[in-house]
Amino acid sequence: MTETVPTTEHDVVAIGCGPFNLGLAALASTVDDVDLVVLEEEPELTWHRGMMLRDASMQVNFLADLVTLVAPSHPLSFLAYLHDMDRLYTFTVRENFFPSRREYEDYLRWAAAKLPSVRFSHRAEEVRWDAADGRFTVDVVRGDGTRLRVRARDLVVGIGTAPYVPDALAALPEARLLHTSAYLYRTSDVAAADKVTVVGSGQSGAEVVVDLLGRNTDGGPAVSWLTRTPSFAPLDYTKMNLELTTPAYMRYFHSLPQDVRDRLVKEQWQFYKGISTDTLEEIHELLYQRQLEHGPAEVELRFGITVESSAVDPATGRVVLTCRHRDTGEAFEHTTDLVVAATGYRNRTPAFLEPVDGLLARDARGRPRVRADHSVELADGVTGRVFVANAEIHSHGVSAPNLDIGAVRNATILNAVTGREAYRLPKRSAFTSFDVPGRL
């Protein structure tokens, strides 16, 4: 006898509950004619716990919350959270409108607790397209092993990105290598090492260096920082340059040929691979104060360095990195005890999409072809839509992973789902004009 699997019907099923799909659920909660459910395999919402360093601050201000930039009076705004927590007045007096990461995660958890559409411990196992009914079917396994089926016209994939370790480091044993995303989970390994080497830069790498410099001054391990970037470059968050992260520029970027978009993403690397000026100043101050100390282990900072391969020396048990100096082309070896890979994240293709993978149109490099409304182009005859969140840098530009674009993207998705302007999108978000004069 065939077991009957409980089935629920919805308008939209969103898979993954990071800030983007949580924001989608928040905006959908006040749209009466949208039945949306969010599935998250983890038992609770956590956000970058492995890099939740004590003084870590957000790089966007509190207005870049789940809803405010399209719905400033929404009951799940950051200001509503502060009011509910009785911290609104003290936050105002604080005169620092950049929340700590700990506070931002607490805000996300507060919002998730108020949204019955968010289902934790629900793992999406398989997605299929039912052409006869014109609906996607998602097979789900709950944390207790119970199976159920969720069906919807439209699908939103917001599973986030995965830590990336390049081939040059991937062969190192786990005991000698960690990614920045797991840094706070491996502090005992850091403390036990005589020398720790950070490979790569960006904000996460710089924050790890701050922590290591503090440990070094207190008698901790020697510290090396190697990055292939041409300098320890700051995030370019000057106001006029930030216009390249606005919805206006995103629309313009999407209209360009793919080869032009790929070139621009490479050129605009300081939007997402740079380091905040506050963190750079903190590093310099730590280095300056370190000069007053006597006997701390060495500190070495080098940019313009490519790590080409890595291995463990069987005689010493230490890691040997084969490196190349990019300016001169000369090779050299670097010896260390522990490598911290500050090498970023990459998009991942989830296994649950395999049954519908053939329906997704892809470009010459195998990436999904994403429309302006963040839906993927699908095969002829598929009437449902698959929207993506934070998987479209190649189609929408370097602002796609930014929290301050999340509310606009989610409003765009909900407008597409409802077929009307459920949320008014900003018409003029930049002073700069990006297109050819007179072009429509």
What pLDDT, in 10s, does the model give residues 358-396?
999 999 999 999 999 999 999 999 999 999 999 999 999
What CA–CA distance (Å, rounded) separates 332 from 176?
A: 20
Q: Of 238, 279, 270, 278, which Cα lies nearest the Cα of 398?
A: 270
Span 99-120, average pLDDT:
97
DSSP string, 357-376: GGGB-B-TTS-B-B-TTSBB
Span 37-42, average pLDDT:
97
Span 132-144, average pLDDT:
96
pTM for the complete prediction?
Answer: 0.94
pLDDT at 100 over 60: yes
Q: What is the pLDDT of residues 155-191, one digit of tens each?
A: 999 998 999 999 999 999 999 999 999 999 999 999 9
Domains of the chain: 7-160+348-418 (3.50.50.60), 164-235+273-345 (3.50.50.60)
H or E stretch covering 285:
helix 277-290
Phi, psi of 357 (to 5 degrees): -60, -35
Binned at pLDDT 50, 70 and 90, residue 439 comes out as: low
pLDDT at 2 over 80: no
Identify the residue with better confidence: 296 or 353: 353
- Tokens for 386, please give them: 């698959």
Asked if residue 360 lies in contact with residue 378, where contact means CB atoms within 8 angstroms, the answer is: yes
Cβ burial of 440 (10 Å; 0-12, 13-18, 19+) is exposed
Q: What is the pLDDT of residues 405-426, one digit of tens each?
A: 999 999 999 999 999 999 999 9
Asked if residue 367 lies in contact with residue 205, where contact means CB atoms within 8 angstroms, the answer is: no
Lowest mean pLDDT among 221-225, 226-230, 314-318, 345-349: 345-349
pLDDT at 440 over 80: no
For Cα atoms 115, 94, 60, give the angle at the middle one, nearest 5 degrees: 55
pLDDT at 235 over 90: no
- What is the chain's mean pLDDT, rounded? 94
Binned at pLDDT 50, 70 and 90, residue 1 comes out as: very low
For Cα atoms 317, 323, 327, give the angle at the middle one, nearest 5 degrees: 160
Q: Can you give the pLDDT at residue 59?
A: 87
Binned at pLDDT 50, 70 and 90, residue 3 comes out as: low
